Amino acid sequence: MKKSEVIRAWSSILAGRAPSLSIEITKECPLRCPGCYAFDADHLGTGVQLRQLSDFKGDELVRKVLALVDEHKPLHVSLVGGDPLVRYRELDALLPELDARGIYTQIVTSAFRVIPKEWSRFKRLHVSVSIDGLQPEHDERRKPATYERILKSIAGARVFIHCTITSQIADREGYLEEFLRFWSGRPEVVKVWFSLFTPQRGAKDAEILTFAQRDAVLADLKRLRDIYPVLELPEAAIREFASPPKSPEECIFARTTQTISADLTTKITPCQFGGDPDCERCGCFASMGLAAVGSYRVVGPLTAGHLFMASDRVGKAWSKVRGRFTQKPEPVPATPFNIL
Ligand code: SF4
Ligand code: SF4
């Protein structure tokens, strides 16, 4: 994140808005990955499951997503699902609109279908392809989005590879290095990102890493970072992985990201995982990356995270007050420029 983006994010928080918006643009996905949080029974926290929601398609989806974006005015939008490539025609219409608004956009997909090469023209677009380890394990968990299909889907495109490390991966010596060796040789790959599997509180999934496994994985990644430049993992992010937020209230990511499900109404809380996530075992790359930005010292012991948290309280209070006086002309919201 550049300094100018931090300032824009800060302005947005002070105005009572989340600078990041994550939209589940479809409830559909051709895959059935074990441990998928989107289709977990508690994901929406309403007793309703994602597949039961009414979602949208065609022009209606495009119109409604843009209306949400124009209402929330985010700096960053994640288009997720289900798998957003299920709605690839709608994405073709949405991406130029988001780009024209100067919004950084991320599409998170299994690449079960071809990623159009023409999307490379959008300089603010990141396409993140989720891969669950090396081919044998991945193909077992993620068919029909097998390695063979992914390699065809990404040909000529620019993608970020995202792998969630599970307990099974963590147990195998040399596995992460083999993974990096494979993907760092691909011309389509801009960077490789790793997350650690994040469970719900009290869950017993086979994918959950022990604390000892987490430590060993982080030490391995720290070593591999120097050998494979394709691995994006700043030192500050490693520190955050080693000591994640204790609760959603302490999580900058959760407090600055609004997640909206496929009916384009239901808000998912406290973060994109929904339900009751076990923050102390959180391994979300995006969350740790943002926490790393938050640890940046602004003055003395005061960090960007302190400013974000305080501003979030001011912004939300301001939003409430503004809501009560909607008939009055709006005062200019506080920004880092006019409060100094
Ligand atoms: S591709 Fe993503 S949304 Fe679809 S089942 Fe797998 S993890 Fe869930
Ligand atoms: S992103 Fe991680 S730390 Fe933040 S609220 Fe979700 S589970 Fe907790």
Decide if 328 is inside a domain.
Answer: no
Decide if 322 is inside a domain.
Answer: no
- Tell me the torsion sign for CA atoms 128, 132, 134, 136: negative
Count how many domains the chain has.
1
Cis bond upstream, residue 58 (ω within 30): no
Decide if 75 is inside a domain.
Answer: yes
**Average pLDDT, integer, range 213-241:** 95
Q: Minimum-distance ligand to the CA of 279?
A: 2
CA-wise closest residue to 225 among 180, 262, 269 = 180
Q: Give, as one character, the DSSP assignment of residue 121.
A: G
Decide if 120 is inside a domain.
Answer: yes
Decide if 156 is inside a domain.
Answer: yes
**pLDDT, tens digit, 9 for 90 and up, residues 147-193:** 999 999 999 999 999 999 999 999 999 999 999 999 998 999 999 99
In this predicted structure, the answer to whether residue 294 has a pLDDT above a threshold of 80 is no
Decide if 5 is inside a domain.
Answer: no
Question: Against a cut of 0.95, is the pTM above it?
Answer: no
* Cα distance between residue 289 and residue 284, in whole Å: 9
**Is the CB–ligand 2 distance for residue 248 below 6 Å?**
yes
What is the CATH number for 34? 3.20.20.70
Q: Output the CA 28–ligand 1 centroid distance in Å.
A: 9
Q: Ligand 2, residues 253, 257, 285: which to mutate, most atoms within 8 A of Cβ?
A: 253
Record the tokens describing residue 157, joined without a space. 């495109």
Q: Which residues form the domain of 275?
A: 20-300
**Average pLDDT, integer, range 232-245:** 92
**Is the CB–ligand 1 distance for residue 36 below 6 Å?**
yes
* Cα distance between residue 253 and residue 256, in whole Å: 5
**Is the CB–ligand 2 distance for residue 284 below 6 Å?**
yes
Report whether 111 contacts 119 (CB < 8 A). Answer: no
**Is the CB–ligand 1 distance for residue 240 below 6 Å?**
no
**pLDDT, tens digit, 9 for 90 and up, residues 260-291:** 999 999 999 999 999 999 999 999 998 887 77
**Per-residue CA distances from 333 to 14, 19, 71 (Å):** 7, 15, 16
**AA identity, residue 118:** E
The label of the residue with tokens 């709605």 reads 87
Decide if 184 is inside a domain.
Answer: yes
Per-residue model confidence (pLDDT) at position 15: 63
Burial 190-218 (b: 16+ CB within 10 A, else e): ebbbbbbbbbbeebeeebbbeeebbeebb
